[in-house]
Amino acid sequence: MHQLTMSLVHRSGLRRRAPRRIHALLFALLLPSCIQRSEGAAAPTSAGSDPAATAEGSGRGASTAPPATLPEGASIAKKYQEFFTVGVAVTQKNLATPTVRDIITQHFNRLTAENAWKWGELAPSKDRYDWGEADFIANFAREHKMPMTGHALVWHRQAPGWVFARLQNGDPQAIEAVKTRLKAHIDTVIPRYADVVDNWDVVNEAISDNGEKTYRDATEGSKFYGIFGSEEYVYLAFLWAQQAYEAHKPGSSEGKLYYNDYNVVLKIDRIIPMLNAVREKGARVDGIGMQFHVRLDWPGVEMLDETMQKIIAAGYKIKISELDVNLYNDYPDGKFKAAPAVDFTPELAQTQATRYAELFALFRKHAEHITSVTLWGVSDDHTWLDHEPVGGRNNHPLLFDDQHRPKAAAAAILDF
């Protein structure tokens, strides 16, 4: 996930600087006026890589907001323990940095590996897994008795190239090759972390950014769809994830299986039928991850509430999987135009705090159906939004500032 949006581009994990979800960004960052036409209009084409446009908004944007004072001994996780777990996306570096680690252990009780568990990171070459950072994070979670969210088994943006190498779209042998590789990956990863993971993002971002079609196909970068020629891989991923848990512990349903996406407010009427079809074929789908890369002013709470009610009515659980609050609108008229950097003033900090407060009030309203809320990063010095869609511009989207101090937003979500 982000600018306008609910979940825009990606939260990259910052280890890779290549553009991730610029497509999504565009679609996601649209103004509310553009949202209306997105129901049936094609998604805008990406302009996020325009060097001139990027340079226009490349100033830094310093923080002049003082830190907030939290009540002595305050813990976000403990404050929300009767509602849901509150998690955070982390890297090995986060966990090795004392001030960041202290924030994590004080305020959060769930972890997600920001980048380290994605297939391309775990298995950069065929028949070789690199478990270093992935195991480090899992062991930290075990040591601190924190459940983890598994992120992510199937994602078109970070599947290793060798999975598709020399394969032709639609070729029956190619389809069988990808099936074999995907199932082997799922069968390898799920049991390794079954003791610490209580839910997986089984499939990430399979729905098109183009409102006139349902699935992200080869033209939008999905080699899975390209090879299969259909969405069959979505069903198979859920089926094999379910079977992997059964093989690890017969009768087990402890590992919940989620579909995860950004801009769910724009995609929900396509997401639900897709997941219903997976269920009808006999595979288990437990819930929908709403990434929640939102902007200060979009989506509105009413739109988010309506979307949640649709998910609940369809019989799915909800998790808030990648929350941050973007300060900038780089798509004021539906086309990319980098917003100039602004200082993070006390006034802007309070505006952001108000936004966080209304979001967490919404989460509490639906707490019976929300299993977890995860922030996409610990503090503002490590956020994908400092790099996408505009490099070199501070965004300040999280609850703790560049110096690892609590912001007004952190105080606001504790004040109820």
Rounded Cα distance, 28 and 39, in Å: 13
Could you report the per-residue pLDDT of 91-125, keeping only the tens digit for each?
999 999 999 999 999 999 999 999 999 999 999 99
At 249, the pLDDT band (50, 70, 90 cuts) reads confident
Mean pLDDT across the stretch 63-79?
A: 97
Domain spanning 22-414, CATH class: alpha beta
Tokens standing for residue 374: 């995860």
Segments of 218-331 assigned E as strands: 256-261, 287-290, 293-295, 317-326
Model pTM?
0.88
Whether the per-residue pLDDT at 17 is higher than 90: the answer is no
Q: What is the mean pLDDT of residues 151-166?
A: 97
**CA dihedral in degrees (14, 16, 18, 20; nearest 10)?**
-70
Q: Confidence class of residue 252 from pLDDT cuts 50, 70 and 90?
A: low
> Catalytic: which of 114, 121, 133, 205?
205
Residue 279 has pLDDT above 60, yes or no: yes
Q: What is the pLDDT of residues 291-307, one digit of tens each?
A: 999 999 999 999 999 99
The one catalytic residue in 121, 220, 322, 388 is: 322
- For residue 234, is pLDDT > 60? yes
Q: What is the mean pLDDT of residues 394-403?
A: 97
Percent of the chain at pLDDT > 70 equals 85
Give the pLDDT score at 253. Answer: 65
Which strand (E) or helix (H) includes residue 175? helix 172-192
pLDDT at site 334: 80
pLDDT at residue 214 tops 70: yes
Per-residue confidence band for 160, with pLDDT thresholds at 50, 70 and 90: very high
Q: At what angle do helices 301-313 and 264-280 cross, to 10 degrees?
A: 10
Q: What is the mean pLDDT of the chain?
A: 88
Asked which of 113-122, 282-291, 324-333, 371-380 is least confident by mean pLDDT, the reply is 324-333
What is the domain partition of the chain in residue ranges?
Answer: 22-414
Going by C-alpha positions, the residue among 107, 371, 92 that lies closest to residue 255 is: 371
Write down the pLDDT at residue 407.
98
- Tell me phi and psi for residue 38, to 5 degrees: -70, -15
Indicate the angle between helix axes 232-248 and 172-192, nearest 10 degrees.
Answer: 40
Contact partners, residue 127, CB within 8 Å, separation at least 6: none
Alpha carbons 5 and 294: distance in angstroms, whole number:
4
Of the candidates 295, 266, 304, which has an alpha carbon nearest to the alpha carbon of residue 27? 266
pLDDT class of 150 with cuts at 50, 70, 90: very high
Quick one: pLDDT band at residue 243, thresholds 50, 70, 90? very high
Sign of CA dihedral 294, 298, 300, 304: negative
Active site residue 358: no
pLDDT in tens, 334-346: 889 999 999 999 9
pLDDT the model gives residue 162: 98
Is 205 a residue of the active site? yes
Average pLDDT over residues 27-39: 33
The pLDDT tens digits of the residues spanning 184-198 come to 999 999 999 999 999
